[in-house]
Amino acid sequence: MKSLVCLSLLTVSLCACTIGPDYVRPEVTAPKDWKTISQNPQIEWQTAQPKDWAPKPKWWELYEDTTLNTLEEECLKNNQTLIIALAKIDQANAGLKTRSAAQLPVVQFGALATDTKISADRPLTSYSSPNQTTTQYDLKPFVAVSYEFDWLGKIRRDVEAARASADQAQTDFENVKLIMTAQLAQLYFLIRQTEEEIRILQTITQLQSKSLNFIKKRHANGLANQSEVDLQNSALQVTLAQMEILKGQRNVQENSLASMVGVPAPSFRLAEGTLPKKIPDIPKVIPSSLLERRPDIASAERAMAAANAQIGVAKAAYYPSLLLAPSYAGYEATTAGNLFLIPQLIWSIGLSATQTLFDGGRLEGGVNLAKASYTSSVASYRQTILSAFEETQNALGNLEQLSKARVNEEEALQSQNRALKISNLRYEAGLDNINIKLLTEQNQLNIARTAAQFKGSQLISSVGLIKAMGGGWDPQSTSKTPN
């Protein structure tokens, strides 16, 4: 009983300290405000608490597009990259469970039963007594225990690192999910933009075909020369060629979308549609928490915590390892009937300690490696935050620029549509020549396509802003953007 008490006191005293530095997250300097294009910026910086643990909303529902919603759900279920990231969470959790188990003793049950015949022609132990053939029976059930005393916190530091790695795997999954869903939305909007451009070209080809027929009639009546017919036909063929190129691009985009939702490209078809009318409003206030709720920043922070814990694991190797040697208790007898009698009780208990005296600098190298890994993880964490600030600033600037440019482009398109109607009337009345008419048609085509591209780019940039902010923002703190 006294030995058990002493062993317990020894265990408590040995586990009272933890070697290595305790983890403290490094400070990061945040910007005071954001750069905006307007004279009176509406976007402000607001300090807040980290919220990377907060549940991420289905941000794509902001666009109110049922097809996009369906594709995003299919991506979340069937995207193979997401399945890989999810499996890594299971791997990390299994690693944490394995390392946590090292804090507990290993208990094993065993039994040994032997039936041994000893030869009579064996070396003599006493020359006055000849050997005889002997058969011996031995039955030994036992329970064995082994345990490593974590007197410097080596195991605790290892568990700390494993727990941080498990958290990192979870944030990595969230990051992959955010990237995949954002890429899918941007690809979807690009497809819809391409379809918008194809429809514009189809309208233009109808107008150009109508004009070509009209010019051919004028040529048949001697009112137009062959060059006018050739010029109009050339404009029509160029438009048709552009339309074929866009159709090819749309096919490639559709195939990429198929892979993202986990469907073989030949089996996937996306029905034709239009760009969503709704564009999420730009937030008026951007809290610092949006950067710390970004899963990539959270992942870098967890990696830093794991690297810090590994320093303690490496330093613990300088000190002796204290092990409760494989100890056991049980019974041993030659007959089953006598097995559990007091005289047949057997036991063994021992404590071993090992200390490295010379290793050629291997332990020092391990500590230096752990320290260098931590320094690298700190730099990676800070660089991830800098990249997040850059990505957010770029997304804000792009979305604001595109919003302003699209207003101008829409007004230009309306003016050009009116100009095209007037040009057609003047040409039919013989007041303008074919060159003026073709130039007006080409300008209308370019402006219409640019307007569609601006709208698509605006939607794509809004997804980029959502991604930069870690998956959305508070819809109640927004400013209007043109739809």
Q: How many residues would you count in the chain?
A: 483
pLDDT of residue 51: 52
The CATH architecture that domain 19-103+153-318+361-479 belongs to is: Up-down Bundle (1.20)
Indicate the fold that domain 105-121+131-149+321-354 takes in CATH. Outer membrane efflux proteins (OEP) (2.20.200)
Q: Are 148 and 14 a contacting pair, CB within 8 Å?
A: no
What are 42-98's pLDDT values in tens digits?
555 444 444 555 556 788 998 999 999 999 999 999 999 999 999 999 999 999 999
pLDDT of residue 50: 45
Q: Are 351 and 151 a contacting pair, CB within 8 Å?
A: no
pLDDT of residue 67: 95
What are 117-150's pLDDT values in tens digits?
777 777 777 777 777 787 777 777 878 888 888 8
Phi, psi of 104 (to 5 degrees): -115, 155
Tokens 């730009």 belong to residue: 282
Q: How far is CA 194 from CA 186, 246, 249, 302, 411, in A?
A: 12, 6, 8, 41, 21
Average model confidence (pLDDT) across the chain = 82
Residue 274 has pLDDT above 70, yes or no: yes
Span 422-450, average pLDDT: 79
pLDDT of residue 266: 93
Cα separation, 448 vs 250, in Å, equals 18
Strand partners, 348: 328
Q: Are 377 and 303 a contacting pair, CB within 8 Å?
A: yes
User: Which residues of the chain does CATH 2.20.200.10 include?
Assistant: 105-121+131-149+321-354
Phi, psi of 354 (to 5 degrees): -125, 140
% of the chain with per-residue pLDDT over 70: 84
Q: Are 137 and 178 a contacting pair, CB within 8 Å?
A: no
User: Which residues of the chain does CATH 1.20.1600.10 include?
Assistant: 19-103+153-318+361-479
Cα separation, 75 vs 62, in Å, equals 17
